[in-house]
Amino acid sequence: MAITPLPDPPSRADPSGFSDRADEFLGALPLFAEQVNETATAMQAAAVTAINAPGTSASSTTSLAIGTGSKTLTLAETGKAFAIGQFVIIARTAAPTTYLHGQITAYNSGTGVMTVSVGKTGGSGTYAAWTISLSLPQIALALSGNDEVTGPVRFAVQVRVGGDLLLDGASPSIQFGTSGLWTWAPATNAMAIGTSDKSAHRIYIDPSGQVNVHGQRGSQGNIQASGALRVLASFVGGYAISTYDVNNYTAVQFVRDVGGVAQQTGSITVSETGVSYNTSSDYRLKENLQPLAGAVERVLAVPARRFSFIGSADRIVDGFLAHEVAEAVPEAVQGQKDAMVDIGRATPPPQPAPIVDVRQDKAPVGWAWSATGEQDGEPVGTATPPVAPAPLAGIPQTQCPPGWSWTKTGEVEAYQSIDQAKLVPVLWAAVQELAVEVAALRAQLGAPA
Question: Cα–chain-centroid distance for residue 184?
Answer: 11
pLDDT computed for residue 140 by the predictor: 47
pLDDT at 430 over 70: yes
| Backbone φ and ψ of 37, nearest 5° | -60, -45
Residues 6 or more apart whose CB falls under 8 angstroms from that of 71 comprise 64, 90, 100, 102, 115, 116, 118
Distance between CA atoms of 109 and 275, rounded to whole angstroms? 79
pLDDT at 413 over 90: yes
pLDDT computed for residue 224 by the predictor: 53
Residues 6 or more apart whose CB falls under 8 angstroms from that of 235 comprise 257
Distance between CA atoms of 109 and 46, rounded to whole angstroms? 21
Confidence of residue 50 (pLDDT cuts 50, 70, 90): low
Burial 292-304 (b: 16+ CB within 10 A, else e): eeebbebbeebee
**For the ranges 94-103, 134-143, 180-189, 245-254, the one whose mean pLDDT is highest:** 94-103
CB 264 within 8 A of CB 254: yes
Per the prediction, the chain carries an average pLDDT of 81
Torsion of CA 195, 199, 200, 201, to 10 degrees: 50
Distance between CA atoms of 413 and 322, rounded to whole angstroms? 14
Percentage of residues of the chain with pLDDT beyond 70? 75
pLDDT computed for residue 127 by the predictor: 94
Q: What's the pTM value of the predicted model, to 2 decimals?
A: 0.46
Question: Cα–chain-centroid distance for residue 158?
Answer: 21
pLDDT computed for residue 73 by the predictor: 95
Give me the residues paired with residue 346 across strands. 392, 406
Distance between CA atoms of 240 and 115, rounded to whole angstroms? 58
Strands across the sheet containing 95-108? 57-60, 130-135, 87-92, 95-108, 113-122, 69-74
The alpha carbons of the chain give a radius of gyration, in whole angstroms, of 35
Strand intervals (E) in 273-354: 275-279, 305-307, 317-319, 333-334, 340-347
| Backbone φ and ψ of 309, nearest 5° | -80, 145
Among the listed residues 23, 366, 354, 29, the one whose alpha carbon sits nearest the alpha carbon of residue 183: 366
pLDDT computed for residue 228 by the predictor: 56
Number of C-alpha atoms within 13 angstroms, CB side, residue 383?
19
Distance between CA atoms of 22 and 102, rounded to whole angstroms? 32
pLDDT computed for residue 27 by the predictor: 84
- The pLDDT tens digits for 355-370 are 999 888 888 877 888 9
**What value does the mean pLDDT take over residues 420-425?**
94
Higher pLDDT, residue 220 or 174: 174
- The pLDDT tens digits for 202-247 are 777 777 676 766 655 555 555 555 555 665 544 444 455 555 555 5
Residues 6 or more apart whose CB falls under 8 angstroms from that of 19 comprise 10
pLDDT computed for residue 268 by the predictor: 86
pLDDT at 130 over 90: yes
